[in-house]
Amino acid sequence: MNVDFSAAGSIETESGEVLAVPVFEDRTWGPGAEWAADRLGPWLADYLDGQGFSGKLGEVVAVPAVGRLDFQTLLLIGVGTEVDDELLRQAAGWLGGHATKAVDVATTLHQIDLDGAAAAFAEGFLLGQYRFDTYKSKGEPSKTERVRFLAPGGEAASEACGDAATVAAAVAMARDLINEPAIGKAPEVLAAKAVEIGRSVGVDVDVLEPADIEREHLGGLMGVAMGAHNPARLVRFSYEPKDPKGFLALVGKGIVFDSGGLSLKSPDNMETMKTDMSGAAAVFGAVEAIATLGIPVKVLGITPLTENMPGGGALRPGDVIRPRNGKTVEVLNTDAEGRLVLADGLSLAAEAEPDLIVDLATLTGACKVALGSKIGGLWSNDDDAADKVKAAAARAGERFWQMPLPDDYRTQIDSQIADMKNIGDRWGGAIYAALFLREFVGDVPWVHLDIAGPARWPDAEHYQSKGGSGFGVRTLVELARELAEA
């Protein structure tokens, strides 16, 4: 991710390894592309016909340019028709993925007529270059060291990339945490990472160990952790800038591996369960980015961290637990554990009386059934809060769809022996989970983000790599910016 973005001269005077220029659909030349096409001559059209290149978003074609241009390779990047921030981010991601073997890339994509073009480009390019190859004997990290923005606009473009690079680095850090095998990220390891983040960006970090968790009456976290060999932790980040413009609380589900507990998952369904702490990873990344950028909003970040395992002391179906706010829960399915640890995290957040609580969790398969693998679900007890988060997500390029929170469905989580149970009817499971969480936020404006689908990207495309996506980090950063400007 250590790429230097700098200004360069005009396309006519520069030379180098790779030149990347945009092409709109139906092979309409974008900035710099017409100049390159004129230099290459009539044979280019036949070459692109043979490659099936028309300029659709996501199309990338390498054109040999030695002897014709002062660059070794010309990359034509399809950007589609009506380009917005997200589509430019995606096009830059395709470029980033194709250019990992190039040390030097010169481009004109920042010259597309769009406010914030350079920042969108930088974010997409850096995320497109992401690789998780820690455990490969022969990894293939990106070789790119420089991206040069060709004139005109190069100077302004290079200056606009700093914040985007900070956010991209935070997303990459979250991806690393998510992709790390569970054996390498026990709760105490993630807690140590949180402390490291806090030291590097000037954020206070408080780590609760098992005795602290018991003393603080975090019954949900204690219950889920009962079957785990590795002891639980709860991390609290406290970012307090001078003269904050608002107070935002973030709560992330941190199940570092989810076997389902005694309600054991099938082997196939366990394969991706190292990623069940994606909500916590998003909070880690968001806090790092918000503090690094110096956004003037107070942030409380809470991540309960534990494994959900079927050890000899594991929580049993039918057991009753008492989370932080005192409401009792009959646990009928130990695989509905995320809401139990979030109950404690949300209770702690509500006690701090923030302006807004946002929680993120890979919470329900039902949400993925409803919205697929690339759109998260959103529930809220406050329309204004929901609108703020949706607007932030739209700017970040992360898709959410608001779902209903109907009061009459609440009876589905009534229990005969406790205040509530942790599951409802088979149908509408994501709604029942949201209704359960609502019981722990009191009157504080709250938004629940179920990221069970997009937290685990199904296949590599544009700036997303297959696996942990870091989904939610960019939305939270944009939300903090919005609160700071309110």
* Per-residue model confidence as pLDDT tens for the chain (486 residues): 789 999 999 999 999 999 999 999 999 999 999 999 999 999 999 999 999 999 999 999 999 999 899 999 999 999 999 999 999 999 999 999 999 999 999 999 999 999 999 999 999 999 999 999 999 999 889 999 999 999 999 999 999 999 999 999 999 999 999 999 999 999 999 999 999 999 999 999 999 999 999 999 999 999 999 999 999 999 999 999 999 999 999 999 999 999 999 999 999 999 999 999 999 999 999 999 999 999 999 999 999 999 999 999 999 999 999 999 999 999 999 999 999 999 999 999 999 999 999 999 999 999 999 999 999 999 999 999 999 999 999 999 999 999 999 999 999 999 999 999 999 998 999 999 999 999 999 999 999 999 999 999 999 999 999 999 999 999 999 999 999 998
The residues facing 255 across adjacent strands are 306
- What's the CA angle centered on 185, arms 198 and 357, to 5 degrees? 50
CB atoms within 10 A of CB 479: 29
Rg (CA), the chain: 24
Are 74 and 65 a contacting pair, CB within 8 Å? Answer: yes
Q: Give residue 113's identity as a one-letter amino acid code.
A: D
Ranges of beta strands (E only) in 129-210 are 146-151, 204-208
**Six-digit token pair at 1?**
């991710």
Residues annotated as part of the active site: 265, 339
Identify the three-state secondary structure at position 60: strand
Q: What is the C-alpha to C-alpha distance for residues 311 and 226, in angstroms, rounded to an integer?
A: 8
Q: Which helix (H) or strand (E) holds 252?
A: strand 247-252
Kindly list the domain boundaries of the chain, sorted by start residue.
Answer: 4-154, 165-485
Are 355 and 248 a contacting pair, CB within 8 Å? Answer: yes
CATH topology of domain 165-485: Aminopeptidase (3.40.630)
Judge: domain 4-154, CATH 3.40.47.10: no
Its pTM stands at: 0.97
Q: What is the C-alpha to C-alpha distance for residues 105 and 147, in angstroms, rounded to an integer?
A: 5
